[in-house]
Structure 1
């Protein structure tokens, strides 16, 4: 897996390079310190994943990612930042980023990269727990009540979109695995969707 790391703190990029390359399956193809460098590195190196900070002088990580993902909709951008700002989280997801994790959760960086490489979206624990509220507030009017869903169903949709299995959802929400299966079946019926993949797509398109 080839990764480009961009952060305006050069000590951070050096530390991340060391951490990532300690894992035998990861190669840091390049490092940068600005949004403009991120664009140039991505275009020239074509990494599997761009791991990038958000707040940088000049072109922000969000702005850079939006440009790159318009050019390459299949591209994988994972944001790594110290800021769990609601506006940033919503913007990151709307432009098609594959995840948003906090630097404080440093032990989750390598697993997050693996998940993104495998096609999942990932969020740090502190971000994931706030997603239902963010979606209710910033979802272009399509809040879950208007869709005929209740709070528990919406929480399950969030977890499905986050890539969790039924067993993992059950553990997170203190339900039995059978109850989770029943909820998902009911949700698919209500939304006239075929499977979990369509449910995840619905979730990310709904705001």
Structure 2
């Protein structure tokens, strides 16, 4: 899989490149050091995963994310940061980021890339624990959702994949996929990340 790394700290970008390229099934498509690099290099390389610094000198990773997602709605973008800022976390969630990782937790980077590539969302445990408080002013759940649909949303918010959800709910994977499609349509949402955010907002 191809990974694009964007961070205005060149030491970080090269350290991440070294870590990722130790994996036989991963390659670093390019390195960039600004939000503009992120936008331009994404267009050129179309990576499977974009690791994107959230705070940079020219403009934020959130701004770059918005530009990229307009042209490439299926983009898998994971934010990297040294900041546990509530606004950054909220912005990343509300705009559909696939993950939010702390740069200090280098050992989590490769597993996170694999999880996002497999269709999951990944939020650092320290970040995930803050989400309910950050989003606690939002409305409760849509009354059209059944108890089983809410249970499934709970497992999505905990990061379980379809097979794991099928096991704990005693359903087939096909049934889980069907449930997810129905819920996405009911709520007019795009993907699992937005479903997870929706569930956490309603708590």
Q: Normalising by structure 2, what TM-score?
A: 0.76
CA gap of 1:156–1:195, structure 2 versus 1, over 3 A, is closer
> Out of 195, 201, 204, which is 2:179 matched to?
195
| CA RMSD after TM alignment | 3.1
Q: Tell me which residue corresponds to 2:100.
A: 100
User: Does 2:34 match 1:2?
Assistant: no
CA gap of 1:48–1:157, structure 2 versus 1, over 3 A, is same
Q: Is the 8 A contact 1:69 1:96 kept in 2?
A: no
Gaps of 5+ in 2: 171-177, 185-191
Q: Is the 8 A contact 1:100 1:124 kept in 2?
A: yes
- Aligned residue pair count: 182
Q: Tell me which residue corresponds to 1:69.
A: 69
SS at match of 2:74: coil
Q: Is the 8 A contact 1:132 1:158 kept in 2?
A: no
Q: Tell me which residue corresponds to 2:38.
A: 38
CA gap of 1:83–1:49, structure 2 versus 1, over 3 A, is same
Q: Is the 8 A contact 1:48 1:76 kept in 2?
A: yes
Q: Tell me which residue corresponds to 1:124.
A: 124
Deviation at 1:155, TM superposition (A): 10
**Per-residue deviation, residues 121-170 of structure 1 (Å, max 9, x unmatched):** 11011111122222213x3xx146x96x9xxxx8984552242269989x
Which is bigger in relative contact order (C-alpha 8 A, separation at least 6)? Answer: 2
**Per-residue deviation, residues 98-139 of structure 1 (Å, max 9, x unmatched):** 1111112211100100111111111011111122222213x3
Gaps of 5+ in 1: 170-177, 183-193
**Per-residue deviation, residues 55-101 of structure 1 (Å, max 9, x unmatched):** 00112111001110011111110001111111111101211211111
CA gap of 1:122–1:15, structure 2 versus 1, over 3 A, is same
User: Does 2:24 match 1:24?
Assistant: yes
SS at match of 1:18: helix
Give the Cα separation in 1 of the matches to 2:98 and 2:48.
Answer: 12
Q: Is the 8 A contact 2:81 2:103 kept in 1?
A: yes
